[in-house]
Amino acid sequence: MSDNQTNEFENAVKSMMLHVGEDPSREGLLETPKRVRKAYEFIYGGYKENPQEILSKALFTSSNEEMVLIRDIEFYSTCEHHLLPIIGRVHVAYIPDGKVVGLSKIPRVVDVFARRMQIQEQLTEQIADAIMDAIAPKGVAVVIQARHMCMEMRGVEKINSTTTT
């Protein structure tokens, strides 16, 4: 991020604080624009990563034809409609067809796509497509179970409701 972009971002955070009735010059908020910028750089780091590069670095020839299942991959993302958190678990299964991928690469791919502004349906599809494109398995399945803060903190206010895709 250039110095100009850094200043623009931090000024936008100050403007948001003013808009909601806060004073960005009060002691507890002086460093908040900088902290928010750094947090966003991490939270949205998925835009800077290529899932195909991650997967291609750990492909191995294999005669295994049994399903590979990686369950309970915890993730967080951000609802693209309200910029509120999505928190959940991803389960990924694939049936190899001559190739397998290093197990740690699947959660890394989940993080690449989750660390973008998203909707859950799209996240599910992106993970499946990336695995299909890189590994070319006989089949792939991705199931996501998640809580959406946009449903819990606003609107219908349904605490602990989950969405499965």
Q: Given the residues 82, 91, 125, 145, select the one marked as catalytic.
A: 82
- CA R_g for the chain: 19
Please indicate whether residue 150 is annotated as part of the active site. yes
Tokens linked to 162:
């989950």
- Report d(CA 18, CA 27) in Å as an integer: 15
The neighbour count for residue 35, using CB atoms within 10 Å, is 12
Between the alpha carbon of residue 90 and those of residues 23, 47, 130, the distances in Å are 40, 19, 14
Q: Given the residues 120, 122, 125, 157, select the one marked as catalytic.
A: 120
- Report d(CA 46, CA 57) in Å as an integer: 18
93 strand-pairing partners: 69, 141
Q: Given the residues 8, 31, 65, 80, select the one marked as catalytic.
A: 80
Q: Given the residues 10, 79, 118, 122, select the one marked as catalytic.
A: 79
- Dihedral pair phi/psi, residue 162, rounded to 5°: -120, 155
- Report d(CA 67, CA 10) in Å as an integer: 47
Element (H, E) at 56: helix 51-56
Q: Given the residues 122, 145, 150, 152, select the one marked as catalytic.
A: 150
Please indicate whether residue 22 is annotated as part of the active site. no
Please indicate whether residue 74 is annotated as part of the active site. no
Please indicate whether residue 81 is annotated as part of the active site. yes
Q: Given the residues 8, 65, 81, 121, select the one marked as catalytic.
A: 81
Please indicate whether residue 31 is annotated as part of the active site. no
Catalytic annotation, residues: 79-82, 120, 148, 150
